[in-house]
Structure 1
């Protein structure tokens, strides 16, 4: 794997960033949809939607990291070799600092506000239910 950090370190990073525990469950999907507008320059969220600079994120919550077959050739090596599922515990540190979490990640945008992170995660989760 080409992770900068192990999955155990991901959890530790989430804790350090205060993105762990009950706060992740308190996200507001409607607010997350508004925050997601910042992400929409690179990502779509329509079922079966096209990729942009980044992959379509429909159904990402609960899916294998780097598992979008339509986007597979364009993933960074770190995501191609990823061996974890996207959930609140893995998305939180990734959204806060993607290049710190996955070596070679092409995603440069960071959500530094904890509430925005939890809201976006809550929104993405609704697109996977």
Structure 2
């Protein structure tokens, strides 16, 4: 009886040692695999660009994007905002203020809505550039804002939404796309112009 018990105990102990060894080996294998292939770790959320990737590239100037924006696309994107906002003339405030005529209007000034002190402190009117900045990240634009929306990372989607809002009671002239594009070209031409002037002076 004792021999049988010892045999069972011995095999049980042996099985435990083998299992522990296999567990240790598999742990080292998967750790080495992750270290050698870091791109396989984690997962990607569809539609979200990793920080520092292509999505982090500098956006085109707002004037250039507004020239390519589409009201219909902006309306479709704004559908996500309707849980908090309306953009109809005479519409009631909701969780957020009514956005009818917001483009060109004073910041934090729609009647009947309790704005945060952070947004009140910004002052000025909502123009295309400030709306673009606001929609990129409300929390960065006005630290302490009540608006918990994370923002729209796609620059063209922001332009589409702003164009749609501009069509809801504002209809302000769009910013000139040419001015934004021409400025770098003018700067690039300056050294050449200076060199030409210097050559002309030297020839005298």
TM interval, short-chain normalised: 0.7 to 0.9
- The CA distance in 2 between the partners of 1:45 and 1:124, in whole Å, is 7
RMSD over aligned CA atoms reads 1.5
Q: Where does structure 1 lack aligned partners over 5 or more consecutive residues?
A: 1-15
Which of 83, 87, 102 lines up with 1:41 in the alignment?
Answer: 83
- Partner of 2:132 in structure 1? 92
Q: Which has the higher contact order (CA 8 A, sep 6+)?
A: 1
Deviation at 1:19, TM superposition (A): 5.3
Q: Is 2:146 the partner of 1:106?
A: yes
1:44–1:55 Cα contact (<8 Å) kept:
yes
Deviation at 1:17, TM superposition (A): 4.9
| Bigger Rg, structure 1 or 2 | 2
Residue 63 of structure 1: CA displacement? 0.4
Query: Within 5 A, what are the aligned runs for 1:1-129?
Result: 17-18=58-59, 20=61, 21-71=63-113, 74-109=114-149, 110-127=151-168, 128-129=170-171
TM-score (norm 1): 0.80
- The structure richer in helix per residue is 2
**Dislocated runs of 4+, deviation >2 Å:** none
